[in-house]
A and B are shown apart, each in its own frame.
Chain A
Amino acid sequence: MSDYKAVVIGGSAGSFAVVLKMLSNLKVTFDLPIIICMHRLKHIRSGLVESLNVKSCKEVIEPFDKQKIERGQIYLAPSNYHMFIEFDGSISLSTEDMNHQSRPSIDYTLSSAASTYRDKCLGIILTGANKDGAKGLKDIADKGGFTIVQDPKTADVPTMPKAALEIMKPNLILSPDQITDFLNKL
């Protein structure tokens, strides 16, 4: 496996199906931690992690505050908490104000991952109806990390990938299936 330390994925409207398909097609031997921050509809508070776990190649967990990030694990930002990656490789949670009307905020997760993993970070922005995440992905690129944006033509709602493309130039612009292939070849 590559010398990346983690894959960090952000998505909003339309991203559930994309993430579900990615996780079900990922090789069981995929060894990097995958850290996912997805916006949730306000009235659907729970059930997201359960739905992902039906098809995922391995278990997806909603971490507790201060939980250590381990190889081969998949983490999903819990509803109503922001999720950060701390310098010691643990997760911290926060209930502070929303960012772009969102808690969890994708910017917060991605920016903290950028600071912690620097050039060993692989960041991905998927479909979504919100600008949250664009700045976080730019932070990953600015710190020398590798960045992928879902091709807006393949996105249910292209606002989020387009917002990222407006402020940064990712290493790759790919369809969801190409992203999965890319990860499987790491």
Chain B
Amino acid sequence: MDAKEFLVQLKARTGYDFCDYSSLSITRRLEKICEENKLTFESLLSKLVTDKAFLSKIVEDITVNTTELFRDPEVWISLYKTMYQKLPSTGTITFWHIGCSVGLETYSSLILLKEIGVLDRIRVFGTDLNPRVLNVAKKGSYAHKFNEHFKTNFEEVMRNIGSKSKFEDYFDIDEKNDTMTVKPFLSAIPKFMQQNLVQDKAPFPYKVDIVFVRNVLIYFNDALQAKVMQMINAKMYDEGMLILGKQELIPNRYSGQYKQLGYVHKRM
């Protein structure tokens, strides 16, 4: 059995569909999983079919959950400047973070919205395939010492947008338990929901002003990238904006529909 057959079988027997993931990267990760667990593709499959807990662990290993607060500060500085000029001046503003992982970038955009002064008229959604990371996102609580670069990123962004806000304005730090937790006034706002991009529609009925899909499309093949772009375009206002990872471009056949302003892709 090779990786491709494994994925077809996995889909048929568990419903998890990774067939349209970029083949080299998914193969590499599957081989790593086999190696670490000392399993062949055959034995991995039979264990996944019978062992629910193992299945959710492996789904987690296959999906990539790397993220940080204000990851790539230059992207957020660029976003702040564009939002400041281009956000609708009245009415509700809707944000959607696709593949939100543990919610750190969702909270990054909430911090920017607070800095702009529009926190009272926003709606923010974060969606991800993985229920474990969504639970972390809902709590908004993270290890402190291990993540000191969050504060460095935060300070770089604040310095560049001319803000005097402090990290402690947004996070409660608990030295004893080594945690930093998003303050309730912020963590009460976003809705975190499960969504499988391969098969599910957006799990909310609203049109969206800004979509974040950062370092998500890089794991998909052309067909799945196109499907996600169609879903995004269908949900986004004509004046909407799309934010990708620092080293990502809009997939080729959609690039004509967006204009790049710094790190922001504005729909045309």
Question: Is the C-beta of A92 less than 8 angstroms from some C-beta in chain B?
Answer: yes
What chain B residues lie within 8 Å of A182 (beta carbons)? Answer: none
- The answer, among A46, A80, A96, for a CB contact under 8 Å with B29, is A96
Whether A86 contacts B218 in the complex (CB less than 8 A), given A42-B149, A46-B74, A96-B66, comes out as no
Q: Report A60-72 CB contacts with B as 1/0, cut-off 8 Å.
A: 0011111000000
Q: Are A65 and B249 in contact (CB under 8 A)?
A: yes
Instruction: Count how many chain A residues have C-beta atoms less than 8 Å from C-beta atoms of the other chain.
Output: 21
What total count of A-B pairs have CB within 8 Å? 50
Whether A92 contacts B152 in the complex (CB less than 8 A), given A62-B247, A78-B247, A97-B66, comes out as no
What chain A residues lie within 8 Å of B74 (beta carbons)? Answer: 46
What chain B residues lie within 8 Å of A93 (beta carbons)? Answer: 218, 245, 247-248
Whether A92 contacts B247 in the complex (CB less than 8 A), given A65-B218, A97-B66, comes out as no
Q: Are B219 and A94 in contact (CB under 8 A)?
A: yes
Whether A95 contacts B64 in the complex (CB less than 8 A), given A43-B152, A46-B74, A65-B248, comes out as yes
What chain A residues lie within 8 Å of B217 (beta carbons)? Answer: 65
Whether A64 contacts B248 in the complex (CB less than 8 A), given A94-B218, A94-B219, A96-B66, comes out as yes
Interface residues on B, range: 20 to 34
Whether A81 contacts B64 in the complex (CB less than 8 A), given A42-B149, A92-B22, A94-B218, comes out as no
Write the nearest CB–CB distance from A182 to chain B, whole angstroms. Answer: 30
Give the secondary structure class of A's interface. Answer: loop
- Chain B residues 198-251 with CB under 8 Å of chain A are 215, 217-219, 245-249
Q: Bound state CA distance, A42 and B22, in angstroms?
A: 28
Q: Are A84 and B247 in contact (CB under 8 A)?
A: no
Q: Are A84 and B248 in contact (CB under 8 A)?
A: no
Q: Are A94 and B64 in contact (CB under 8 A)?
A: yes
